[in-house]
Each structure stands twice: as C-alpha cells, then as structure tokens.
C-alpha cells in the first residue's frame, strides 16, 4: 500500500511538472512596436488565439514606428540577461542575434508544420540561423505605395500621378486649392522610407540594388543619386509646417480626414484606413509610388524567439505555430494591410490593394524587381542602414546641396563598412 502511494505521488508530480515542460499552459512575453490602431487590432488576433489555447500573453509594446526604439530596448533587456520570449526582429539582424547563441531552435515546430514547404525559400532562409529555424515570419509588406484621398484630388482638379512630373503638377493644384499635398512624418525612418522609394522610382531596380543592397560608394555619390536627392527635396515644399517629428499614423490620419492629398508609406498605412472603416477605391486609392509600378520593395515582419524557462516553452512554440496557420495569416494580414507570407492562400478574402500586391509580388519576383527594403532592415546591416538614414535626414532637414549630400552619403557608408 505504501509503495503504491509512493508511485502515485511520483506519477502526480511527474504529470504536473512533465506537462508544464511539454504542453501545459505558460506565458509568452512579446516585444513589438505595433501600437497604432491598425497594428494593435492585427496583433490582438494572435493574443486571442494564444489565450484560447490556455497560454498567457504578456504584452511588451515599445512605441515608435519602424521599430528603432524597440530594438534599443531589446538590446538592453538582452544585455541584462532578461530578454522577452519573443521579439519583433527582421532581416539580417536575425543572424546577429543567432551569433549571440540566445535563440530557441524552432525546427520541431517547423517540421511538424511543414514550414519548408509553405514558405518561399528566400523567406525561409532569412528565418534560419546556420540551417535551423530561429524566427517565424508573419507577413509581407510592400513599401513603395502612395495613399491618396480621391476627394482631395477631385476638389483640386488633380489626377493621381504615375510619374514625378505628374506628381509636381498634382501637388501644385492641391496647394492652390488650399489643401496640403503631402502628409509627411518627419522622422528619420519615414524619410528613409520615402527616399528608398524614390531611388527605385527615379533610377530603377539595378541602381536600387547597387545603392540600397550592395551599398556601393561609387553609386551612392553618383549623379543619379544627386537626382534622387533633389527629388526628395522637391517634395518638401508640398508638406506642412507640422511635419517635423510627426508619427506615420498621424500623417495617414491627415489623408483619411481629407486634410492632405497623399502619403508615401508602406502598406501598414492601409491598416489605418481599415481600422477607420474606409473602403479602397471609394474613400481612398492605393497606387504604386511614381515610377515604381513594376517594383516591389519588400519588408517581412518576423519574431525571433529567445531561450525561455522550460515551463514557458510550450507557450512560446504555440505562438510560433499559430503565426503561420492559415486562419491567422488571413485575418492578421487583412487588418495589417500586408499579404500572407504563407504560400497557397486564397486571394478571395482580400481587397483590391492586397490583390495588386499579391500579383506584383509574384511578377516582380519573376522579373528581378523584387528587392529588399533598406529602411525596414531587410537589405543591409544596421550600421550601414544607420549611416544612410543619418545622411538622408541631415540633407532633408538642412540647406545642404544634393551634391554635398551624395558625397556625405558615400563617406558615411564607407566608414560603416
């Protein structure tokens, strides 16, 4: 009898602790920078799915579009030996975190869920460190969009531009009608977002690759770059005095409310129109930025997972699994403005801008016009991105000539290499 009781005791203890290690409820602390209306609504879907499986979501939001503030906070938490279970980290930076030896190997989830088959190979490769999955992708955003308010264009007698010349004409008409042509968010990452869009739109894909992906100093100080920088400065006269420091979603709100005609921004801006109950091609028009109809500057959000206590492993892996499941891919991306990263999803539930993005994504990948975003950390290492962003922001916010700025750009990038 005593022996039986003893065995029973051992079994109970095993079932409690063994279960926690394998599949019991746990907590996932998630660091992210999705704090705007559209972003928060999108992330809430993941939280709900995780909680429905009995796990706890500990939210660790660090405000600041583009994620630069979030990355600073993440580094200090990691240095203190206390990283969150999951953090929004993208592109080449995943390799840097892999080098630190702090990431959870997700191969068991990946194998069970067939990630190698449901993800495009280029995406899967970004998520792997030395051949093992350490990150899970969420979506595909396109950077080179222009978000327009058709009522503003109509009031001004302007048409939505497809070239930079047409853009200037439209801006002059909108200004003459007493409205703001361009809603501008004066923060370095937003200026870099418009800058890289102009690189693609003014000088084409090859020059984009040379400058924004290979960071070739000769191309960075070329006459073509001078032309790009002059185009960027040209836009400034069509922005309002409230632009410096403005958050991207407040700029989107200016277009939504009809105070401004257009905004250059990645398609997370669509998440704001959706959250405000607006309909594409009725309340707003999403068009590729001038000169970029065939290009797709891509930006893939992903979460890396840090090593966690045994009791939270199941929760962490559940989050990784849920992110790539079809239902989440559909609902999240509809809210977020992006397109699914999981292949083979039906287009049917998605709106016209998302369908255009899906079509352009596959066409650009065939034509060689699918390129990674520099501003959104998909193309170059953080030091080079920082050098480019500083040079662009210094130029945009000063009286420096485009010639001098191009030289400064090349010098800064060389120093960062």
Q: Rule CB under 6 A: say whether 33 interacts with ligand BGC.
A: yes
Question: Residue 376 Cβ, how far from ligand BGC at the closest point, in Å?
Answer: 4
CB nearer to ligand BGC: give 26 or 353: 353
CB nearer to ligand BGC: give 119 or 402: 119
Question: Residue 154 Cβ, how far from ligand BGC at the closest point, in Å?
Answer: 29
DSSP letters, 205-273, are HHHHIIIIIS--HHHHTSHHHHHHHHHHHHHHTTS-TT-BT--HHHHHHHHHTTSEEEEE--THHHHHH
CB nearer to ligand BGC: give 33 or 207: 33
Question: Residue 86 Cβ, how far from ligand BGC at the closest point, in Å?
Answer: 15
The 365-394 site mask, x for binding ligand BGC (CB under 6 A), equals -----------x------------------
Question: Residue 301 Cβ, how far from ligand BGC at the closest point, in Å?
Answer: 5
Question: Residue 111 Cβ, how far from ligand BGC at the closest point, in Å?
Answer: 27
CA distances from 411 to 132, 217, 220, 363, 374 (A): 37, 7, 9, 36, 18
Tokens of 266: 């990645």
Question: Residue 316 Cβ, how far from ligand BGC at the closest point, in Å?
Answer: 21
Q: Rule CB under 6 A: say whether 195 interacts with ligand BGC.
A: no
The 3-state DSSP class for residue 133 equals: strand
CA distances from 294 to 145, 165, 232 (A): 12, 18, 20
Among 29, 31, 39, 238, binds ligand BGC (CB under 6 A): 39
Distance of alpha carbon 61 from alpha carbon 90, whole angstroms: 16
- For strands 296-299 and 139-142, give the pairing: antiparallel
Q: Please report the sign of the dihedral spanned by the C-alpha atoms of residue 31, residue 33, residue 36, residue 41.
A: negative
CB nearer to ligand BGC: give 66 or 84: 66
**Half-sphere exposure in the Cβ direction for 88 (13 Å, CA):** 30
Question: Residue 88 Cβ, how far from ligand BGC at the closest point, in Å?
Answer: 8
Question: Residue 26 Cβ, how far from ligand BGC at the closest point, in Å?
Answer: 26
Q: Among residue numbers 57 through 76, which ones bind ligand BGC (CB under 6 A)?
A: 65-67
Residue 261 — φ and ψ, nearest 5°? Answer: -80, -40
Q: Rule CB under 6 A: say whether 193 interacts with ligand BGC.
A: no
Question: Residue 390 Cβ, how far from ligand BGC at the closest point, in Å?
Answer: 18
Tokens of 267: 């398609």
CB nearer to ligand BGC: give 66 or 261: 66
CB nearer to ligand BGC: give 93 or 299: 299
CB nearer to ligand BGC: give 33 or 238: 33
Q: Determine the residue with CB nearest ligand BGC.
A: 268
The 3-state DSSP class for residue 27 equals: strand
CB nearer to ligand BGC: give 65 or 181: 65
CB nearer to ligand BGC: give 93 or 203: 93
- Spatial neighbors of 283 by CB under 8 A, at least 6 apart, are 149, 150, 256, 273
Tokens of 350: 């998605």
Question: Residue 312 Cβ, how far from ligand BGC at the closest point, in Å?
Answer: 25
The 262-301 site mask, x for binding ligand BGC (CB under 6 A), equals ------x------------------------------x-x
CB nearer to ligand BGC: give 196 or 313: 196
Q: What is the largest CA-CA distance in the chain?
A: 94
The 3-state DSSP class for residue 87 equals: strand
- Spatial neighbors of 334 by CB under 8 A, at least 6 apart, are 274, 349, 350, 351, 354
- Spatial neighbors of 253 by CB under 8 A, at least 6 apart, are 272, 276
Distance of alpha carbon 292 from alpha carbon 266, whole angstroms: 13
Binding region for ligand BGC (CB under 6 A): 33, 39, 65-67, 141, 248, 268, 299, 301, 376
């Amino acid at each position: 009898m005593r022996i039986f009781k003893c065995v029973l005791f051992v079994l109970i203890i095993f079932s409690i602790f063994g279960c926690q290690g394998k599949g019991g409820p746990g907590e996932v602390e998630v660091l992210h920078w999705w704090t705007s209306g559209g972003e928060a609504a999108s992330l809430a879907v993941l939280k709900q799915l995780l909680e429905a499986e009995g796990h706890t979501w500990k939210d660790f939001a660090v405000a600041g579009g583009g994620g630069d503030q979030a990355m600073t906070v993440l580094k200090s938490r990691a240095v203190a030996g206390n990283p969150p279970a999951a953090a929004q980290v993208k592109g080449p930076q995943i390799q840097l975190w892999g080098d630190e030896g702090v990431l959870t190997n997700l191969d068991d989830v990946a194998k069970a869920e067939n990630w190698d088959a449901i993800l495009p190979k280029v995406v899967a490769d970004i998520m792997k460190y030395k051949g093992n999955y350490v990150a899970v992708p969420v979506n595909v955003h396109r950077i080179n969009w222009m978000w327009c308010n058709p009522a503003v264009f109509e009031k001004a007698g302007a048409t939505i531009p497809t070239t930079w010349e047409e853009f200037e004409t439209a801006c002059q008409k909108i200004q003459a009608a007493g409205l703001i042509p361009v809603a501008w968010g004066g923060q370095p990452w937003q200026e870099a977002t418009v800058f890289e869009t102009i690189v693609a739109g003014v000088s084409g894909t090859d020059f984009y690759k040379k400058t924004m992906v290979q960071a070739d100093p000769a191309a960075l100080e070329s006459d073509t770059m001078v032309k790009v920088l002059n185009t960027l400065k040209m836009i400034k006269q069509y922005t309002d005095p409230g632009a410096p420091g403005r958050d991207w979603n407040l700029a989107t709100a200016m277009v939504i409310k009809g105070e401004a005609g257009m905004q250059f921004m990645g398609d997370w801006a669509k998440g704001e129109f959706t959250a405000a109950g607006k309909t594409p091609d009725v309340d707003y028009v999403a068009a590729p930025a001038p000169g970029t109809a065939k290009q797709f500057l891509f930006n893939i959000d992903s979460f890396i997972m840090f090593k966690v206590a045994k009791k939270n492993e199941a929760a962490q892996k559940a989050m990784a699994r849920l992110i790539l499941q079809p239902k989440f891919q559909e609902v999240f991306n509809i809210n977020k403005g992006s397109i699914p990263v999981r292949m083979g999803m039906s287009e049917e539930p998605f709106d016209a801008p998302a369908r255009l993005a899906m079509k352009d994504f596959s066409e650009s990948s065939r034509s060689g016009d699918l390129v990674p975003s520099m501003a959104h950390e998909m193309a170059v290492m953080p030091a080079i991105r920082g050098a480019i962003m500083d040079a662009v922001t210094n130029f945009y916010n000063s009286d420096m000539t485009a010639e001098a700025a191009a030289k400064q750009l090349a010098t800064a990038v060389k120093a960062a290499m």
